[in-house]
């Protein structure tokens, strides 16, 4: 006779299993509804414009030509494809397919990049070229769409963007390019300097395109920026692997001393690791390792009084005062450190592999700590959503190391319940950014710790509650916020494309079970590319052709 205790324990275990399984399905369905509602509101009231206000239904295109770049449309296509692949709801699947076909028809027949307009090379690469390339990749994997449509449009756009490299003596591209004439244009401000993160965040897109087109020129152009940048500035010795946020494109020399992992610095570090993950090229892991070691030495700090881990800034160089300011943008670093430690394997698998060492263990711990800090930036706010920027509190005994926060500022700034961080009045907006849920998604799939799903569910609920646009009591769309320090929230009439391209995608993937992070690499706009086949790379002679020696 079976032991009744064993039977009851087994039944309880099954009950817990089915509870969480059903909960995850429920969360997936909820996100599917938000995605379709957001996209179909745009489709009805903002199509095909690049900028859309879901409250007023206002819309405009970004280029001066008046033609659409497909800013929201192309950025969204792979989110719809991934959701189509995962959904278990037949009605949802049909709606997604209809929208995918609608977008694909527009891309093939209406989208024309031969426009007499200046565009930012970085933004157009990560959003438009990245979106087209991931559309190509996913259309070959999930049996929806025509890969040729995305491939041909990607080649057309990449050939136009590549002309931004043409006038630069150093090989570093200028910030903008005219898509029709090919004229490369320097930054209109900052002494013509290029953002260091911008010209070092083209490489995944151009290298993946080189691998599927067989055209090595894309690879060569994207890679040629690194040798002058590292050698002219002696980055490893003079900057401990870190970089100031501006670079003069003609000479490759840094302009200014401001070092940070927020805006204009962030994706420089991201693409060092992700090039290694995409291409297996060890040079980029070595550069990433140097940068992370430099970050730990100079920028990783703890708040007062609770000891929240954050990444500070050095606005006056490595030897200057530290700023305890941290952009929400920096919250991608939890996921990046976790991927750098594990290379996409679960932490249990990674710790048994030959590559595991004490540096990676330390990176993993830091990844958990940073992700927890970024969660607190949501959890402690009245709206349950993070502001754009926070300033962390520091212990009085260390005040001489930091840009000082005056008593007047401490009174006038919003203070978190634990007193670990402050928010300035002009920094309290929320643009529905993805970086925290990005890290939460990576941490969940690499650890299998359900705490991360609980955090994601909490954040999603606060997006639902506080960013919904309602008419006659019915939710019609979701939008940005002017202020998340007070409830009810003040809404901003703008839906950024990354709400659809990144935030909802990462939240959706958080609640899927079969996400293999060892086989795909997300670009900085959450567009997935497959890890490149080493044998194919060898056949096409796609290899790193520079070194620091």
Domains and CATH numbers, the chain: 32-539 (1.50.10.10)
List 75, 198, 266, 457, catalytic entry: 266
- Directed axis angle between helix 282-298 and helix 266-279, to 10°? 150
List 75, 78, 118, 123, catalytic entry: 123
Q: Cα–Cα distances in Å, from 423 out to 40, 377, 391, 411?
A: 34, 10, 6, 11
| 177: CB partners within 8 A, 6+ apart | 118, 119, 121, 160, 161, 163, 164, 183, 184, 185
Query: Does the predicted model carry a pTM greater than 0.75?
Result: yes
Could you write out the DSSP letters of every residue in 36-80? Answer: HHHHHHHHHHTTT-SEEETTTTEEE-SSTT-----HHHHHHHHHH
Q: What pLDDT is attached to residue 143? A: 87
Q: What pLDDT is attached to residue 272? A: 99
The answer to whether the beta carbons of residues 382 and 480 sit under 8 Å apart is no
Residue ranges in the chain whose pLDDT is less than 50: none
Torsion angles phi and psi, residue 526, rounded to 5:
70, 25
Could you confirm whether 476 is annotated as catalytic?
no
Q: What pLDDT is attached to residue 167? A: 84
SS3 87: coil
Q: ∠ CA 66-72-77 to the nearest 5 degrees? A: 130
For 351-363, the pLDDT digits (tens) are 999 999 999 999 9
Distance, in Å, from the CA atom of 336 to the CA atom of 364, rounded to the nearest integer, reads 10
Which of 203, 82, 200, 71 lies closest to 134 in space, CA to CA?
82
Residue 501 DSSP code: I
Distance, in Å, from the CA atom of 310 to the CA atom of 326, rounded to the nearest integer, reads 7
List 435, 476, 502, 525, catalytic entry: 435
Could you write out the DSSP letters of every residue in 284-333? Answer: HHHHHHHHHHHHHHHTEEE-TTT--EEE-BBTT-TTSPBB-EEEGGGGGH
Could you confirm whether 438 is annotated as catalytic?
no
Could you confirm whether 519 is annotated as catalytic?
no
Q: Which residue has the tokens 């001489």?
A: 400
Could you confirm whether 183 is annotated as catalytic?
no
Q: What pLDDT is attached to residue 15? A: 55
β-strand partners of 300:
311
Residue 403 DSSP code: P
- The rounded radius of gyration (Å) of the Cα atoms in the chain is 23
Q: What pLDDT is attached to residue 171? A: 95
Q: What pLDDT is attached to residue 549? A: 79
Q: What pLDDT is attached to residue 219? A: 98
489 is in an annotated binding site: no
Tokens of 149: 């449509």
Instruction: Tell me how long the chain is.
Output: 549
């Amino acid at each position: 006779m079976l032991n009744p205790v064993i039977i009851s324990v087994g039944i309880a275990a099954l009950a817990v299993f089915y509870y969480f399984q059903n909960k995850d399905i429920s969360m997936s369905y909820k996100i599917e509804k938000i995605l379709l509602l957001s996209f179909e509101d745009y489709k009805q009231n903002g199509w095909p414009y690049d900028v859309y206000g879901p409250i007023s239904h206002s819309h405009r295109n970004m280029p001066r030509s008046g033609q659409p770049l497909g800013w929201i449309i192309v950025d969204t296509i792979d989110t719809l494809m991934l959701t189509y692949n995962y959904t278990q709801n037949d009605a949802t699947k049909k709606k997604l397919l209809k929208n995918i076909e609608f977008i694909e028809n527009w891309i093939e027949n209406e989208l024309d990049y031969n426009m007499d307009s200046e565009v930012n090379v970085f933004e157009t690469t990560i959003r438009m070229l990245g979106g087209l390339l991931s559309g190509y990749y996913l259309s070959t994997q999930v049996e929806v769409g025509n890969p040729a449509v995305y491939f041909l449009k990607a080649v057309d756009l990449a050939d136009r963007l590549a002309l931004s490299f043409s006038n630069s003596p150093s090989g570093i591209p200028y910030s903008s390019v005219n898509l029709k004439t090919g004229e490369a244009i320097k930054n209109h401000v900052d002494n013509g300097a290029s953002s260091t993160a911008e010209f070092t965040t083209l490489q995944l897109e151009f290298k993946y395109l080189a691998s599927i087109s067989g055209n090595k020129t894309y690879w060569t152009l994207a890679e040629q920026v690194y040798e002058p940048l590292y050698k002219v500035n002696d980055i490893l010795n003079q900057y401990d692997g870190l970089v100031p946020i501006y670079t003069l494109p003609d000479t490759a020399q840094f302009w200014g001393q401001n070092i940070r992992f927020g805006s204009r610095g962030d994706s420089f570090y991201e693409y060092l690791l992700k090039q290694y993950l995409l291409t297996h090229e060890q040079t980029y892991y070595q550069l990433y390792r140097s940068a992370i070691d430099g970050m730990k030495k100079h920028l990783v700090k703890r708040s007062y009084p609770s000891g929240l881990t954050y990444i500070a800034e050095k606005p006056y160089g490595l030897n200057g005062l530290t700023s305890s300011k941290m952009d929400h943008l920096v919250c991608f670093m939890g996921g990046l450190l976790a991927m750098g430690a594990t290379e996409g394997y679960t932490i249990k698998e990674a710790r048994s592999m030959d590559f595991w060492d004490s540096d990676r263990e330390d990176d993993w711990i830091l990844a958990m700590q940073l992700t927890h800090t970024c969660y607190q930036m949501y959890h402690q706010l009245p709206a349950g959503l993070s502001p754009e920027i926070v300033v962390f509190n520091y212990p009085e005994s260390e005040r001489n190391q930091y840009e000082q926060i005056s008593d007047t500022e401490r009174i006038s700034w919003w203070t978190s319940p634990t007193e670990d961080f402050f928010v300035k009045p002009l920094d309290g907006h929320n643009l529905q950014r993805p970086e925290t849920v990005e890290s939460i998604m990576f941490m969940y799939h690499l650890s299998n710790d359900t705490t991360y799903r609980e955090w994601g569910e909490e954040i999603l609920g606060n997006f639902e509650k506080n960013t919904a646009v309602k008419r006659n009591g019915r939710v019609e769309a979701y939008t940005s916020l002017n202020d998340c320090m007070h409830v009810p929230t003040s809404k901003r009439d703008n839906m950024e494309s990354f709400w659809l391209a990144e935030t909802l995608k990462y939240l959706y993937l958080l609640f899927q079970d079969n996400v293999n992070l060892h086989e795909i690499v997300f670009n900085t706009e959450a567009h997935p590319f497959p890890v490149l086949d080493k044998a194919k790379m060898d056949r096409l002679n796609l290899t790193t052709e520079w070194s620091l020696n």
